[in-house]
Structure 1
Amino acid sequence: MKGTLKLSLKANEKIYINGAVIRPDRKVTIELMNDVQFLLENHVLQPEDASTPLRQLYFILQVMLMNPQGAPDAREMFRKSLPLMLASFTDERILASLKQVDRMVGEGDVYGALKAIRALYPVEQAALRAGHEPEQREYEAIAVGAR
């Protein structure tokens, strides 16, 4: 995250900031005034929901934000997974976005990379339904390695 950002949180809504879990007991607005990596609770993907290649890639990056101690292992898993996905997908929008995701992760903008991946979910679903993209079983081990 770059610059100042105001976030409104509901009571008991979690936010993950630089690996810390914060849960206010009442509605609150917080202002993040410096560069920080964060993830809102409604953007957290549960392991069992990492059911497509892009969702698994998202899960790996999510680990980097939520668990700084596990970030090096997650980064290595990302580096191994991305080339497999680039070789497997044919949709140009997905390929272009995955290259952008790689650049963002390299620049330390994991939050931006997560946002870019979330934007691809509908494109991936359409491609998977059309049978033009890799099947799930090719990527089953990816999310497991990030847990």
Structure 2
Amino acid sequence: MLRITLRDGEKAIVNGAVIRAVGRTQIAVENQVSILRGREVMRPEEATTPARQLYFAAMLAYIDPANRDGHHDIVVGLVGALVVALEVPEAKSACIRFASEIAQGEYYKALATAREVIAFEDALAAPQAA
């Protein structure tokens, strides 16, 4: 059983349905579901870099199983490009771990790994200190 707590007004996606807490709400999930809390949800306009686009496509594959094949195609292209673009060995390792998690159907876990890839991408884009 999974227990989550939502603050008043916080949104979550449960099997593709958007829910919003009215008052502080605790939910007990007693079976297998796809669930994302509000802070884990990325809006399309936030997918502004390849790593963020990777997260967004993986998120859609997780919450939109009816169109999962199309989302997978996008994920495969993006992860391949990121492995080439991110030169840091740890970043490449995170990309490979992400791909493995997606291949095994571990979407929620893959989203956490995609956040690592975003951090690597952000670090590369940051101006280098002199």
TM-score of the superposed pair, with normalisation by structure 1: 0.77
Aligned residue-pair number: 128
Distance 1:76 1:95 in 2: 19
Is residue 2 of structure 2 the alignment partner of residue 38 of structure 1? no
AA of the residue aligned to 2:56 = F
Structure 1: which 5+ residue stretches go unaligned?
132-147
TM-score of the superposed pair, with normalisation by structure 2: 0.86
* 1:111 Cα deviation from its structure 2 partner: 0.8
Q: Contact 2:50–2:78 at 8 Å: present in 1 too?
A: no
Among residues 42, 47, 51, which one is paired with 1:50 in the alignment? 47
1:26-83 C-alpha deviation (Å, 9 max, x unpaired): 2211122333221111121122211221111001111113333332211111122221
- Show the 5 A alignment for 1:4-19: 4-19=1-16
- Show the 5 A alignment for 1:14-93: 14-93=11-90
Poorly superposed stretches of 4+, deviation over 6 Å: none
Q: Contact 1:16–1:65 at 8 Å: present in 2 too?
A: no
What is residue 122 of structure 1 aligned with on the other side? Answer: 119
Distance 1:105 1:28 in 2: 31
* 1:130 Cα deviation from its structure 2 partner: 5.4
1:69-124 C-alpha deviation (Å, 9 max, x unpaired): 33221111112222122122111111101111111111111111111111333322
Percent of matched pairs sharing the same residue: 26
